[in-house]
Amino acid sequence: MSESDIRLPRWLLGVAALVCIAAGLALTLRPAASLDALVVLLGTALAGVGVAEIAGATRIRQRWLSVATGVIFLVGAAAVVAWPGATLSGLAPLTALTLIVGGIVKVLSGIRNGHRTSIAAGAASVTSIAAGAASVTSIAAGAASVIFGAVALSWPDATLLALAVLTGPVAVLFGFATGIRALRPTAHRPRRVAAVASVLALVAALGSLALSVRLNSERFTGPDAFYAAPADVPDTSGVLLRSEPWTADGIPDDTRAWRILYTTTRDEGVPAVASGVVVLPETSSPEPLPVLAWAHGTTGVAPKCAPSLSQEPYGTADAILGAATANGWAVVATDYVGLGTEGPHPYLIGQGQGRSVLDSVRAAHQLVPALELVPALDERTVVWGHSQGGNAALWTGILGPTYAPDVRLSGVAALSPATDLPGLVGYLAEIAGGAVFASYVADAYSRTYPDVDFAEVVAPEARTLAREDAGRCLGEGAIAVSVGTALAVPDILADGQPDERFLHRLAENTPDGPIDVPVLIGQGAADPLILESVQTGFVAKLCEQPRQIDYRTYPGADHNSVIAAESPLVPELIEWTVGRFAGEAVDDECGPIP
């Protein structure tokens, strides 16, 4: 049917143009809403095709085939509307498949047309030359489509974001084009415009492919055989299973280090295996080394995110850990269960994290005599932790007397600790990149607690993004994609807030239980993630009961700079820890220091 056979009134085209422009502008300003809009657009398109097929059944011989095809499309449209979450999950691979198949068809078509053109080239007509240019254009456009499809398969969350971001601008451009068509007849576009567009698309596709290759090359590799649990794992927790010498950037030159594998238990008491690192200072003193147990901050929730797998394992914390070994203390740094070893990782789940810390100290005490090292480790142990590790450090103090009474705790220092978990998770949407941390929490809690359902916690339009986030570590290049999607879709939670069961589990893991040893809580006053006001409120609530809590805030310090080498916290932390190892008495007062 030719174009002259179908003519729509110009006023109708004008209305359609205005609708497209208005909707496009709205979607451009709200890319998260564009994800929902994609489902609506897809459902509308399927319904339109279905209606068209059924309506066209009177014009063809095989009416039943056309009607059946139309019904299938209508059923598909209904399914899209009924299950939008499943539609979004499949939208990225569907887009990738469409790009790849469509691109291959376009390339083959261009090659075929080029072959025909070469046969007719003897005529050297303008038509044959134009046809040859068209075949090159088709091949370039098809190649670009195939490359974009391959990249889309590698980065489904980025594909969804691109679709969401581009839906609005494309609708606006389509609206303007339709409006121009309503005002005056559409002119044929010169072939050179199509050729230039195809070449630019191919260049953009090659650039996307290069970026994808680079980001993939920076992905962390998975755990090696060292982290695999042996065939027979003892039921007793804190048993050293294996060890080997270990080196990494940031480990002081005058130290020796080993990575260790040991037994522990999960939140529900199920036996598990965890990994970690033991760093011993070189010393000529025969005196036993006091033990500094380190609980690290967030690195991710996938097994590949274990600090002991990284060549830069402790980042900003290098300064304080270096100060620890410089003072003649042995550093025992757990990876936590599920990082390095088999998951799930109990991210911000107190029991699992605290047990990993306590059992790492037990295992370290077995390492030294097993390797015939001197000096031995002292029974005195102080726990430090930052961010996620601050939560873990507080839970270590809570669990110590009952879970590991053989580990002699002398003090707990929690630095920028994640404490008010319900408030923190509810606030993450307000923080740049906070959706990445929300994805970690949703993944860990849904894999640990049967009553927390990932599909109920995370909004349908954000599930693909959250799943991809949970598979990435903060230190790898691919996290840039997660940060980008988090900026565009900052709130991944269904209804914008944790549901009641999720909130209950978060409250369970708030570290507000009694701790029998002195506690130091250090907080950056400029921390955008763990707010000073929230931390102060948490400490004030703890101090309603008799506690030995020394609460210190540091003006101008943010979440990470509070533990950097130049931070005033570092010398104060060292001085406080020296006092704990020396058994010095502390004031019974609870709260901020004068």
Are residue 40 and residue 82 in the same domain, yes or no? yes
**Following DSSP, what letter does each residue of 560-580 receive, concatenated?**
TGGGSTT-THHHHHHHHHHHH
Is residue 2 a part of any domain in this protein?
A: no
Same domain, 410 and 434: no
**Are residues 436 and 491 located together in one domain of the fold?**
yes
CA distance 52 to 250: 66
| DSSP reduced 3-state for 286 | coil
264 in any annotated domain = yes
User: Do 280 and 368 reside in the same domain of the chain?
Assistant: yes
Q: Which residue has the tokens 């962390």?
A: 220
> Is the same domain home to 149 and 51?
yes
Give the tokens for residue 48.
């339109």
Structural domain for 176, as ranges: 9-217
Answer whether 434's CB lies under 8 Å from 469's CB.
Answer: no
Q: What is the pLDDT along the chain (594 residues), one digit of tens a residue?
A: 444 344 456 666 566 567 657 765 665 666 555 555 656 665 554 454 455 455 545 444 445 555 665 566 567 557 656 666 665 666 667 666 766 766 676 677 667 665 554 444 444 444 444 445 556 776 776 777 777 777 766 666 666 666 555 555 655 665 566 666 667 654 444 455 556 666 766 676 676 667 666 666 556 678 999 999 998 888 899 999 999 999 887 788 789 999 999 999 987 678 899 999 999 998 877 889 999 999 999 999 999 999 999 888 787 778 888 889 999 999 999 999 999 999 899 999 999 999 999 999 999 999 988 888 878 899 999 999 999 999 999 999 999 999 999 999 999 999 999 999 998 988 888 888 888 999 999 999 999 999 999 988 888 778 878 888 888 898 887 777 777 777 777 788 877 667 789 999 999 999 999 999 999 999 999 999 999 999 999 999 999 888 899 999 999 999 999 999 899 999 999 999 999 999 998 877 787 754
Helix (H) or strand (E) holding 255, with range, is strand 255-265
Torsion of CA 49, 54, 57, 63, to 10 degrees: 110
pLDDT of amino acid 127: 46
In terms of domains, do 384 and 451 share one?
A: no
**Cβ atoms of 364 and 280 closer than 8 Å:** no
Chain centroid to Cα 115, Å, comes to 49
Instruction: Give the per-residue pLDDT at 172.
Output: 63
**What is the SS3 assignment for 141?**
helix
Give yes or no: residues 120 and 169 share one domain.
Answer: yes
What is residue 450's predicted lDDT score, i.e. its pLDDT?
93
Domain containing residue 352: CATH number: 3.40.50.1820
Ramachandran class of 552: left when φ > 0, alpha when ψ lies in -120 to 50, beta otherwise: beta
Residues 238, 311, single domain; the answer is: yes
**Domain-embedded: residue 3:** no
Strands 271-281 and 255-265: antiparallel
Shared domain check, 535 and 497: no
Give the single-character DSSP code of 584: -
Are residues 389 and 523 part of one domain?
yes
Strand order in the sheet with 330-334: 240-245, 255-265, 271-281, 330-334, 289-295, 377-386, 408-415, 519-524, 549-554, 591-592
Among the three residues 507, 525, 559, which one is the final residue of a domain in this structure? 507
Q: Which residues contact 305 (CB under 8 A, 6 or more apart)?
A: 220, 299, 339, 345, 473, 474, 475
Predicted pLDDT of residue 361: 97
Regarding whether 126 and 19 lie in a shared domain, the answer is yes
Backbone φ and ψ of 167, nearest 5°: -55, -45
Q: Report the pLDDT value the prediction gives residue 30, as an integer from 0 to 100.
A: 60
**Domain termination site, one of 479, 507, 535:** 507
- Exposed/middle/buried for 592, CB within 10 Å: 0-12, 13-18, 19+? middle
Q: Write down the pLDDT at residue 316.
A: 74
Of 296, 268, 262, 314, nearest to 393 by C-alpha is 296
CA distance 304 to 220: 6
CB atoms within 10 A of CB 160: 29
Residue where a domain terminates, one of 507, 527, 560: 507
Number of domains in the chain: 3
Query: In this structure, which amino acid lies at residue 11?
Result: W
H-helix or E-strand spanning residue 35? helix 31-55
Q: Are residues 77 and 146 in the same domain?
A: yes
